[in-house]
Structure 1
């Protein structure tokens, strides 16, 4: 299967939690953020097991979804939240990210990785005291992805009628049970309807040339992390798959980044590396003129749905055979 074609290379960027916090605290950096022309920006890249950012500390326990919500107020690029199957159960993760997608009017996503590199527990969700014994890795992460996507799809947005004459505000029979039974169990439905783009864009983050073998078929895009070389990119991008492959690269070495595109990557995820305070490294990233460095790159409009900007198809419906969560409403006069 060939990957979708957005019309040009997708040039995305990434900020650590500390860098995102620094942007929020500095009005000059907030101004640069509002004019940043990346296809999207991943927030909390330090939560994923890629190349370390040597001199940029983690920003405590600031959650990337909270940072994304705060930064979205200032405009700027679409925001993608980095997360792993470490702390949050799928329901909590699905609720926060779908809320963000409504706030941004369909300009957000979720990038899932297998392991938080900050020394967290080795078992999924046991850090929350839930006693889960699922080993972290691609299988648990893929199961989390299926659970989250099912929850996102459980309440169709067009089921909301708001018909005062008939008294039917929601066609409740169209809200579906999730019934996911895997590493985790979810019954659903989620308490939030689907968003303008249907569901947030679902990304998969991993390392190594065999990343395609681990990427679930429901993923919208794949990020090949760990600052890969040309050979790794060529091997990964050359394998058939539904999701386009973006290669992680350093914003300090744009010549090498361009070589990864020539090696077959469908796009880039540019992150900071090297010395500097979070404010300094964030400024370095946000001041890079991506449209000049990468002519023809995808530059979404401020109101373009992220899924449309990336040329992605609608997500696969995981609940086509699901049972209704509620009975059909009875017509009556709304008072």
Structure 2
């Protein structure tokens, strides 16, 4: 039987500790982990800690300061509109060459709630919000997936003979409905490594995402998923599981978590080869392409008149 992989979960104080210490960053980059969740306490129901950092900002730091480590940024539509989440996810995938992805949650422990009838995104006061529930989070994940695919990477051709840099007619409107209405497209091309991994956290069956024919979720973490989350000092659950997330409490140090990870990797868990994209490391299939009948955002480009 294949041994499960090991991942880590970092809470707010751990993000501060990790980014302030070059030795810890180097140690993290060298650990043969499947991935690390940045800001897991944002979305798993934990109370907010006294300190934290933006998960996407930490991801940008790791992208520039490391070469091998893979990670998921935790985000929720409670704070961020899906279009903004998609921009961050795509940008990080470009910066890391596919080493990053998204862990979507219903609530963000560090975010204020919006109006009573529209607590998701409505708190920004920039438009109509949405209910703060599983369907809204699922719709946000779906919007991120299609937005990241709306500008195909291979549409960038740089044809010197015609002067056509981009086959702009292949950039499409996503026309996403549901909790959020988005026409699209995203203002960044799909990463060269393809659409980013999108994960979901489910502690119980009631937390599982909806099931439909257009499911954007690649991976479900938590007791109700294929990758359980275990606290530092606890034993993994019995039975078969693809991997496990080892998570420290806010008052436990990053060094303690790394020490425990090294022990687990030496006994019971399988090391994951360093480097490469997160999707490749987890052996996840590529998401389905967008439908071919989506409306083009731009007309077919014409050769430059000076050529």
Q: Is this a same-fold pair by TM over 0.5?
A: yes
CA distance in 2 between partners of 1:298 and 1:316 (Å):
29
1:273 matched residue in structure 2: 249
Report which stretch shifted further, 314-323 or 96-105: 314-323
Task: Tell me how far apart the structure 1 counterparts of residues 254 and 12 of structure 2 sit (CA, whole Å).
Answer: 11
Instruction: Give the match for residue 219 of structure 1.
Output: 217
Tell me the equivalent position of 2:298.
Answer: 326
State how far apart, in whole Å, the 2-side matches of 1:148 and 1:180 are. Answer: 10
- Quick check: 1:308 aligned with 2:298? no
Give the length in aligned residue pairs.
298
Corresponding residue number in structure 2 for 1:184: 180
Matches within 5 A, 1:1-335: 8-51=3-46, 57-59=50-52, 62-75=53-66, 76-118=68-110, 120-121=112-113, 123-212=119-208, 214=210, 217-224=215-222, 233=223, 236=224, 245-253=226-234, 256-257=235-236, 260=237, 262-273=238-249, 275-276=251-252, 281-287=253-259, 288-289=261-262, 290-295=264-269, 297-302=270-275, 304-332=276-304
| Offset from partner CA, 1:66-96 (integer Å, 9 cap, x none) | 1111022232421210011111111111001
Gaps of 5+ in 2: none
Contact 1:159 1:172 in 2 (8 A): yes
CA distances 1:23-42 after superposition (whole Å, capped 9, x unpaired): 11123222222212210111
Give the distance between the partners of 2:47 and 2:28, measured in 1 at CA. 23
CA distance in 1, matches of 2:297, 2:73: 29
Alignment partner of 2:184: what SS? coil
Question: Which deviates more from structure 2 when the two are superposed, residues 265-274 or residues 39-48?
Answer: 265-274
* Cα offset, 1:331, TM superposition: 1.9
Secondary structure at 1:100's aligned position in 2?
helix
Matched-pair contact (CA < 8 Å) for 1:176–1:324 = yes
CA contact (8 A) 2:134 2:209 kept: no
Distance 1:177 1:159, change over 3 A: same
Q: For the Cα contact (< 8 Å) 2:173–2:294, is it kept in 1?
A: yes
Task: Say whether the 8 Å CA contact 2:37–2:71 is kept in structure 1.
Answer: yes
RMSD: 2.3
Q: Compute the TM-score of the two structures, normalised by the length of structure 1.
A: 0.82
Superposed displacement of residue 334, structure 1: 6.9
